Amino acid sequence: MDTSRWSDFPHPDDDFRYPGGSLKKAWQDLHRGDCEPWPEDKELQEAWRCFHAGDFAGAVERADRVGIAGHAVANKASGIYADYLEDDDSVKIAIYNAGIERAEKAIKEMPDDPNAHYFHAFLLGRYSQSISVAKALAQGVGGRIKASLDRALELEPKHAEAWTALGLYHAEIIDKVGKLVGRMTYGASADAAHAAFDKALSLTPDAPIAHIEYGNGLYLLYGDKQLEESNEAYAKAVEITPIDAMQKLDIEYARASLE
C-alpha cells in the first residue's frame, strides 16, 4: 500500500508516544477495546507504537513488512486514517478494499484470531458507508459484516469494539431498510442494538468511540426524537482524556459535531 501521500496526524502529543517499556505497561488500557495481545515481535511493537502516536503510515509500512501477522495494526491504522484524515473518496475506498483483502488473508491463515474477523467487519462497514445503499445490499455486505462480527465475538466475548460495531450494524440496517425488512431479512432489531451498545459501554466506559457510536446508533434508530440523547453521548466522549491518537481523533470529531 502506497502511504507516501498520507496526511500527517494533526494533534501530535508526546503522551501518545509510549517509548521503551511504557508501551507494554500501557498495553491493557490501550487495547481494552480490541483485546489485541501483546506482540513479541519487535517490529510489530514499533508498528503499534507508530499507531498510538498517530504515525498511521509508519504503522502500516512496518506491519506490512512483518507480513500477515501484522494484519491488525495495518488494518486499524489504515482504517482510522481513512476515516478521519483522508479527503479523497476514491483513496478511502482503495484503503478499505486493501484492508478487506488483508483481513480475508488473515482469516484464511489465522481463523481463530478474533481481530482478523473484527477488522474484516470494520473495513467492510466503512466500505459500505462509502458506496450506495443499493450497491452495498447487492454485494451482500450486510451479511458478511454480521458473520465476521459474530465470529469475532464467539472467539473473544469481551471485544468491546466488536460489540460497538454490532450495535451500529443493527441500527444501520434498520435505518436503511426499516424495522420489518431489517428484522425478517437481516435479523436486525433495536433491542439487539441497545444490548450490544450497553455491552460495549460496560467493557470500555472510557473509550470515546463507544459513546460516539452509541450516539450515532440512537440517531439512526430514532432520528430527532432522541437527538438530545445522541448529543449527550457525544458530550460524554468529549469529556474523556485521550490516551492515544485514535482517541484524540474520535474526541475531536465528537467536539466538532456538537458545535
Q: Which residue has the cell 478511502?
A: 92
**Rg (Cα) of the chain, in Å, rounded?**
17
The 8-class DSSP code of residue 11 comes to: S
pLDDT by position in tens, the chain (length 259): 889 899 999 999 999 999 999 999 999 999 999 999 999 999 999 999 999 999 999 999 999 999 999 999 999 999 999 999 999 999 999 999 999 999 999 999 999 999 999 999 999 999 988 877 667 777 788 889 999 999 999 999 999 999 999 999 999 999 988 888 878 878 889 999 999 999 999 999 999 999 999 999 999 999 999 999 999 999 999 999 999 999 999 999 999 999 8
Which of the four CATH numbers 1.10.150.570, 1.10.3720.10, 1.25.40.920, 3.60.20.10 does domain 14-251 have? 1.25.40.920
pLDDT at 133: 65
Residue 38 to residues 59, 205, 212, 221, 224, Cα–Cα distance (Å): 16, 22, 27, 37, 42
Which of 144, 143, 168, 165 is closest to 153 using CA atoms?
Answer: 165
Nearest residue to 15 (alpha-carbon basis) of 241, 244, 208: 244
With CA atoms as reference, report the closest residue to 194 among 216, 165, 223, 214: 214
Enter the pTM of the model: 0.95
Q: For the chain, how many residues are written?
A: 259
For residue 168, the tally of other CB atoms under 10 A from its CB is: 24
User: Which of 77, 89, 189 shows the shortest CA–CA distance to 132?
Assistant: 89
**Cβ proximity of 238 and 251 under 8 Å:** yes
| Cα–Cα distance list, 240 to 7, 140, 169, 221, 236 (Å) | 25, 36, 25, 25, 7
State how far the Cα of 53 lies from the Cα of 1, in Å rounded to an integer. Answer: 20
DSSP state of 37: P
Q: Any idea where the domains of the chain sit in the sequence?
A: 14-251
Say which DSSP state 244 is in. S
Distances from the Cα of 167 to the Cα of 92, 161, 226, 254, angstroms: 23, 10, 16, 18
pLDDT value at residue 130 = 85
